[in-house]
């Protein structure tokens, strides 16, 4: 019984640890930067990539998963080729987004 619930307990513990470390991070930020213009700029710079990642990741998974499943149904070689294309496209997209962020950053 304990082995069956062990993973649930582990996931709950890790989620709790994540919430606690996030809270501690906010305490450190408030202590070091306070309520300032620099803190506002940091919040935007810190939150924008997270929001983009949380919104783009499900869309990319939703687009890639059917293609990978279709390729897997047609054999291991087709799956490997599709996986390489998907990973290559994702890497190219991430590189382009990073370059765009680099070019848009203030001097």
What per-residue confidence (pLDDT) applies to 107?
A: 67
What per-residue confidence (pLDDT) applies to 19?
A: 94
Closest CA to 63 of 42, 40, 89: 89
Q: In terms of pLDDT, which residue wins out, 6 or 74? A: 74
Q: Band of the pLDDT at 96, cuts 50, 70, 90?
A: very high
Closest CA to 87 of 66, 56, 64: 64
Residue with tokens 């606690």: 20
- Write the pLDDT tens digit of every residue in 34-80: 888 888 888 888 888 788 778 888 888 888 889 889 999 999 999 99
∠ CA 83-86-88 to the nearest 5 degrees?
A: 105
Global confidence as pTM: 0.51
């Amino acid at each position: 019984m304990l082995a069956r619930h062990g993973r649930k307990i582990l996931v709950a513990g890790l989620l709790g640890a994540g919430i606690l470390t996030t809270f501690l991070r906010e305490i450190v930020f408030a202590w070091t930067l306070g309520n300032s213009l620099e803190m506002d700029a940091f919040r935007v710079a810190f939150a924008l990539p997270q929001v983009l990642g949380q919104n783009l990741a499900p869309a990319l998974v939703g687009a890639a998963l059917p293609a990978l499943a279709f390729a897997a149904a047609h054999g291991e070689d087709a799956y490997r080729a599709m996986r390489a294309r998907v990973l290559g496209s994702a890497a190219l997209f991430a590189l382009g987004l990073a370059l765009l962020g680099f070019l848009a950053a203030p001097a």
